[in-house]
Amino acid sequence: MDNVKHGDDNLSAILVIFGGTGDLTHRKLMPALYNLVLDQLLPEQFAIVSVGRRTKTDEEYRNEIYASIDKHSRNKINETIWRKLQNMIHYYEFDFTNLEGYVGLKTFLEEIDEKAYTKGNRLFYLAVAPEYFETIVQGLQISDMTKQQGSFSRLIIEKPFGKDLITARKLNNKLLEVFEENSIYRIDHYLGKEMIQNIMVLRFCNSIFEAIWNNRFIDNIQISLTEKLGVGTRGGYYEHSGAMRDMVQNHIMQILSMVAMEPPVNLRTESIRTEKQKVIEAIEEITPEFLRDNVVFGQYGKGVIDGTPVTSYREEGNVPENSSTETFVALKLHINNFRWAGTPFYIRTGKRLGRSSAEIVVQFKELPNILYFEKHEVQEPNLLVLRIQPQVGVFFQFNTKDFNTHHDIVPTKMDTSAISPNQGNTPEAYERLIYDILRGDATLFSRWDEVEAAWTVADKMIRYREQKKFQFPNYDAGSMGPIKAFELLAKDGRKWWNV
């Protein structure tokens, strides 16, 4: 991708952040904006208007932002860079549920526009709880803030996009009344992660991988997004979300589609999104038998993480003591197309597990065990692991003869993540995503039909969990999930890899 350096005034815009005093703005957006200024990727003519309910001066707000950048940025604060960013930031006090107030905001933005030469371009970032999306979009609509001749106007929203297929459709229809589909940027921050973007390069720039990336050579693929963290202060949100809506419907479906998609005809946004969408469409039908045999739900009980005792999910703040919300999901599914028929995809995600990591493990089929079986009844399979976090890079396992014993066969492990020069300092996903929004590149954002297809799959599983009473809690904090998640693979003669 071309880097557009400072001063490219085609990117001039006002970024309007609804939820300017919220967690997302402090922890992710502002540190990302700081690093974009540092890397000279923001144009000179750029302004940030943070909308918040509380009364504060620009100076007070900027001081708070300084402290957050200091805490969360991947780079230490350089005062010259900070001054540049600081001059771009404005605080606007406004209760965004008050529809009459949008006219005032419009006038404020017009004033900033004149001073900052931002050409009427607007990015509206809804860093607020999803129940406010429709209200804000309506406010933008009635104040006629989104359609300026010769300027762009883009909407940025964070998941969850609805709470099921029906509400997602309703929300989407509302958004489409005001914004074109290609001006809506649905953030899935996993797509901004370095290794997720690397999936396409690894697959489509290496003949040794792409030639065997199919059901003839791959035994199974595992996608694991596991966290040691519990729900913390987000109990109120999580209780209505659960792991299915929080992780599977979005992040995992997106990763699955990148891993399994056909090569796009070119690198244009729509070509890539179309191939991703087809993968989700090809997921096998979710029948009652599928739900019974292939889905495991879990909820954490109390336990110990890194030597510290932690409470059960039901004891977390804003969680009812008889909660039936899942904090863990394991799934086995098939993608019914020519490339993947017969190769299972195993998926697992959960909170309060014994390990925090995000990985994709590709297990290749074994060769006939004819030649070396006497001494080595079990040979390790070839494994390709795409390490998304905390390590970033690729791990590959293959068999070689042991130098020392002269006869043993040993698995050799190549791990580029250990030597990655970027390790520990990969650009924050939000930097990449904000920069792409500014350039109008929607490749790393979800298109509506992808979201819709993912809801179609997830909805059936969520309804099953809601209707069937599971015995929760069913795993200890600090373990790797319920026993049934291990049995899911064991009954196929497989296991979760942890390499």
* Residue 109 or 358 with smaller CB distance to ligand BG6: 358
Q: Which parts of 28-143 fold into alpha helices (H)?
A: 30-38, 58-72, 79-88, 102-116, 133-142
Q: In the stretch 345-364, what mask flags binding to ligand BG6 with x, by CB under 6 A?
A: -------------x------
Segment 388 to 417, residues that bind ligand BG6, using CB under 6 A:
none
* Residue 46 or 190 with smaller CB distance to ligand BG6: 190
* Residue 275 or 428 with smaller CB distance to ligand BG6: 428
Strand pairing category for 295-298 and 475-477:
unpaired
Identify residue 222 by its one-letter amino acid code.
Q
Q: Are 50 and 25 a contacting pair, CB within 8 Å?
A: yes
* Residue 349 or 382 with smaller CB distance to ligand BG6: 349
* Closest separation in Å from C-beta 283 to ligand BG6: 21
Q: Rounded to whole angstroms, how far apart are CA atoms 63 and 114?
A: 25
Decide: is 459 part of the binding site for ligand BG6 (CB under 6 A).
Answer: no
Q: Rounded to whole angstroms, how far apart are CA atoms 191 and 432?
A: 9
Decide: is 227 part of the binding site for ligand BG6 (CB under 6 A).
Answer: yes
For 8-46, b/e burial (b = at least 16 CB within 10 A) is beebbbbbbbbbbbbebbbebbbbbbbbbbbbebbbebb
Decide: is 113 part of the binding site for ligand BG6 (CB under 6 A).
Answer: no
Joined together, the tokens standing for residue 83 give 């001054």
Decide: is 326 part of the binding site for ligand BG6 (CB under 6 A).
Answer: no
The DSSP element (H or E) to which 411 belongs, if any, is strand 409-415
> Which candidate in 26, 90, 251, 334 is catalytic?
251
* Closest separation in Å from C-beta 80 to ligand BG6: 30
What angle, rounded to 10 degrees, do the helices at 30-38 and 79-88 form?
120
* Closest separation in Å from C-beta 238 to ligand BG6: 7
Q: Rounded to whole angstroms, how far apart are CA atoms 444 and 430?
A: 11
* Closest separation in Å from C-beta 189 to ligand BG6: 6
* Closest separation in Å from C-beta 63 to ligand BG6: 27
* Closest separation in Å from C-beta 444 to ligand BG6: 14
**How many chain residues bind ligand BG6 (CB under 6 A)?**
4
* Residue 246 or 431 with smaller CB distance to ligand BG6: 246
Segment 176 to 205, residues that bind ligand BG6, using CB under 6 A:
189
* Residue 86 or 250 with smaller CB distance to ligand BG6: 250
* Residue 139 or 350 with smaller CB distance to ligand BG6: 350
Decide: is 246 part of the binding site for ligand BG6 (CB under 6 A).
Answer: yes
Half-sphere exposure of 258 (CA within 13 A, CB side): 25
| 251 catalytic per annotation | yes
Q: How many CB atoms lie within 10 A of CB 80?
A: 9
Q: Rounded to whole angstroms, how far apart are CA atoms 387 and 259?
A: 13
Q: Can you spell out the DSSP letters for 182-219? A: GGEEEE-GGGGSHHHHHHHHHHHS-HHHHTT-STTTEE
Q: Which residue's Cβ lies closest to ligand BG6?
A: 246
* Closest separation in Å from C-beta 242 to ligand BG6: 10
* Residues binding ligand BG6 (CB under 6 A): 189, 227, 246, 358
Residues annotated as catalytic (active site), given as ranges: 251
